[in-house]
Amino acid sequence: MKSINKDRIKELYADKRYQSLFDVGLFFVLIFSFHLLYNIWNYKLDYWPIKGTVDKLFAWASALLFDQSTWTLEHIFRMDFFTKDQTIAFMNNEGTYSMVTVAPECTSLKQWMHWLFLMLIFPGPWKHKAWYIPLGLVIVEFTNVVRIVGIALFLRPFPHDFALAHDGIFKVMFYVVIFLMWALWNDRFHHKKSIPRKSPSE
C-alpha cells in the first residue's frame, strides 16, 4: 500500500497541473518547520550550545543594520534625526518625537536562517544554489534596511501606528520577498522554465 501511495504521489507530481500545488505546499511546510525549530532553539534551549556566539552575531548584525538604516535615512531621504545608542529619534507631523530602536531582535539573522534552511533542502541544481543562496542573503538584508527605513518614514505622518508598521506591513514584506525569491528559483532553476521570447515579427 505504501509503495502504491508513493507511486501515486510521483505520478501526480509529474503532472504539470499539480506541480505548483506540491511545490507551494513544500515551501510552507519548510517555512513553518523552521519557524517551529527556531522557536524551540530560542525559547526552550536558549540557543544551546552556542548562545555566546549567537549573542555576538545578533549584536554585530544589529549594529550593521543600524548603520545601514541611518545612512539611508540621511543620504537618500535627507531626513533630520538624532541617535542615541541604537535608537533613531525624529520629529513627526504632530510636533512630537517618534523613535525606532534597532535591537538585536530586529536583525535579519532569523530570516537568513529561514532562507538557508529553505534553499538547502528544496530541490534544485547545486551549481546555481552556490550563487543564488548568497544573493538571497544580501536581498534579505536589503529588505530589512527597507523595513527599518520604512517604519521610520511611516511614523512621521502616522506616529501612533507603530504596531501596524512593525508587526503588520513590514514584517509581512519580509516573507513576501522570501516567497518571491523562492518562486523565481522554483520556476527558473528547479523546473528550468525559460522566459518566452517574442519573435522579430511580433
For the chain, the structural domain boundaries read: 15-189
155 near 162, Cβ under 8 Å? yes
CA–CA separation, 122 and 83 (whole Å) = 42
Percent of the chain with pLDDT over 90: 76
Q: Is the confidence at residue 1, as pLDDT, over 50?
A: no
Q: Which helix (H) or strand (E) element contains residue 17?
A: helix 16-39
Cα angle for residues 48, 51, 55 (degrees, 5° grid):
155
In sequence order, the β-bridge partners of residue 100 are 88
Give the mean pLDDT of 125-136: 96
Residue carrying C-alpha cell 532553539: 41
pTM (predicted TM-score): 0.85
Which amino acid type is present at position 12?
L
Give the mean pLDDT of 36-50: 95
Paired sense of beta strands 82-84 and 87-91, if any: antiparallel
Give the mean pLDDT of 168-185: 92
What are the b/e assignments for 120-129, b being 16+ CB within 10 Å?
A: eebebeeeeb
The per-residue pLDDT for 13 is: 58
**Ramachandran assignment for 198, one of left (phi > 0), alpha (psi -120 to 50 degrees), beta (any other):** beta
The per-residue pLDDT for 76 is: 96
Give all strands of the β-sheet with 82-84 in edge-to-edge order. Answer: 82-84, 87-91, 97-101
147 near 173, Cβ under 8 Å? yes
Percent of the chain with pLDDT over 70: 86
**Ramachandran assignment for 154, one of left (phi > 0), alpha (psi -120 to 50 degrees), beta (any other):** alpha
